[in-house]
Structure formats: C-alpha cells, structure tokens
Amino acid sequence: MKFAKITAIEYELPSQSLSNEALAQQFPEWDVAKIFGKTGIKDRRIVAENECASDLAFKACEKIFASGVVERSEIDCLILCTQSPDYVLPATACILQHRLGISTACAAFDYNQGCSGFIYGMGLAKGLIETGQVKNVLLVTAETYSKYINEGDKSVRTLFGDAAAATLIQAASEQVALDRFRYGTDGSGAESLIVPIGGSRFPASLNPEPEVRKDGSGNVRTDANLYMDGAAVLEFTLKRVPQLFDSLFDENFTLQDVDHFVFHQANKFMLDTLNRRLKLPEEKFVREFEHCGNTVSSTVPIALKESLLKGSLKEGDMVVCVGFGVGLSWAACTVQF
C-alpha cells in the first residue's frame, strides 16, 4: 500500500508592499498602532495591476523544481486552489501545466475553496495517491484578493494580502501522518464573505457601474468588491472551529501528541480569541502573518514553510492544521514531516 506525504513546500509573495503607515495616511482615524493591534499585520503584499494569481503560482512551483526534489516529468497531478482564476474558463491549472512544461500525461484542475482550501487539497491529494491513481501531486494555492477589494474599504484592506504556495505531496512506502481529515460546510453563511457581482448569478456585464456605498463604519465598496461581515465570520469561527478541533482527538491521539498547531492565519484578533477558547500552549501555536497578511488558502502552507526555515518545525514533528472561512467551510487534519 502507498501512503501520501509532504516532501516540499515553497511560496511566492508579490514585490509590492502595503504597509500600515500607508494605510494610516489614507485612514487617519486608524493609526499604525491601532491597525497592528487589531490585525497583528505590519505589511501585506499586493500584486501589480497586470499580475495574476497564476503568475505567483508559477514562481512558487518553479522554486519546487529548482530545489531538485522532483522532476517536471514526474508530476502526474496538478491541483490549483484559487478564487481569483485567470479566466472564467478554462481552468487556470491547465494554463499553469503548460506554462510549467509539465507532461501532458498529467491531471490538472482548479477548485474554489478559499480559507480551508489547503486542507481540502491535501485530502484530495491523499485520496488520489493512496488509491493508486497518481504518485506526485503538486498542490498549489494562489489568491489575489486585492483585485476584489475597494481601496476605500479598510475593514478588509487591512487584512488581506496576495500570495501563492506550492506543496509537493508524494507517494511513500512508509506510513506517515497525513491523516485524520475532518470537513464541514454551512452554505447558509455564504453571504458573510462574498463578491456579489461577477459570476453567472449577477454578471458584471449587466452592471458595469455598480453603486458605490459607504457603511456605518465609513468603509466604501460596491457589489463588485469583496464584502466581509466580520461579526458573522467571528461567530461562525467560534462555533465551528472548537467542535472541529475536538473531533480530531480520541484515546489514540491526544493534545500531548501534537508539536505544533497551525490554524488559518486570519488575523491576530481571530487567533487570540480562538486560542483563549482552546487553551493551547502558546509556544506550540504558530503565527506567521505579520509580513504578508491573510493570504487565504496559502496561510497554512506559508506558516509551515516559515516554521521549517526557522527550525522550529523539525522532521518527525506532528502538526495539526485547521482551516476555516469563506463558504462557509472548515477542515482539519494532521501532518507529520
């Protein structure tokens, strides 16, 4: 029997930065200290006007190949998680396969999942590998939420950054811990985190100049922009994530077996509130978003990679990964390197 394991992670950030100082100049009612105190973020990376999620994805994947851990010819499945594809169709994964020079004997497809997307993708990769369908999966997460954000909306502009991550998941003969997958969905909360205009339900072509509105907090947006009901998302998170987290453990797997907890790196307030509820050891609770912001589906792989680079995450360590957000959806699993 074959087992699935992570063998490499790389990520790519845009060169352009959006600092708290720049945001404070635009929104003087929020000074630098207030922005950092609420979000825990100092800088967000933002793509250029002509730069897409696939451009970041390409660079992250090229880092995998440059490392020598796998040859292009060995990749037989490319999975891309993105909510900001290059086109409505075809799938951006197909374009990325060609651009990377990967064999045409390779499955390639997109899935649109957002904040829980990395865990969903690892579950897909595990299933494909352990049923013998493929051997080497390149799991890519890539988002450019900045393209959906109104510059006058500080509620989301202070949080989100653009990024891509590439994770190589391969077949292994030994049993390793890419396991204990748990999933959940509550589509009744879909409107809590949404871009209303742009799909088939409300095509952009039918509303080329959507109304500009200002909410009670002074945030400016249109229905073509990203909208987040922060209170509703927080309520959902505090209801669902502790239940999800508790479902991972039993008499064969306890909190003491875990070396690191890597949650979706939403923002400081969200993670602080969750950790107070779950009472996890702070030294095991990973935080890696200060210099990139909330990068949606890429937050967990970026946090894993940074932990590897810093040496805090070592071979053999057991990690619990948790994703939650847009959908509304949630997922968790265990990973051992």
Cα–Cα dist 44/16, whole Å: 8
98 to each of 51, 95, 103, 137, how far by Cα in Å?
18, 5, 8, 16
82 contacts 143 by C-beta, under 8 angstroms: yes
Question: Is 98 one of the annotated active-site residues of the chain?
Answer: no
Helices marked H in the chain — which ranges? Answer: 20-26, 32-39, 53-66, 92-100, 117-130, 154-157, 230-246, 268-278, 299-310
| Six token digits for residue 247 | 């479902």
Q: At 174, which amino acid appears? A: E
| Six token digits for residue 221 | 């947006």
Is the sign of the CA dihedral 287, 291, 293, 296 positive or negative?
negative
| Degrees, nearest 5: CA angle 118-284-234 | 55
Which one of 61, 115, 292, 321 is the catalytic residue? 115
Q: How many residues does the chain have?
A: 337
Which one of 264, 292, 321, 333 is the catalytic residue? 264
Rg from Cα positions in the chain: 19
Which one of 260, 292, 294, 321 is the catalytic residue? 294
Question: Is 294 one of the annotated active-site residues of the chain?
Answer: yes
Cα–Cα dist 149/302, whole Å: 22
Look up tokens 């949080």; give the residue.
159
Cα–Cα dist 249/46, whole Å: 38
Helices marked H in 81-213 — which ranges? Answer: 92-100, 117-130, 154-157
Residues with a catalytic annotation lie at 115, 264, 294
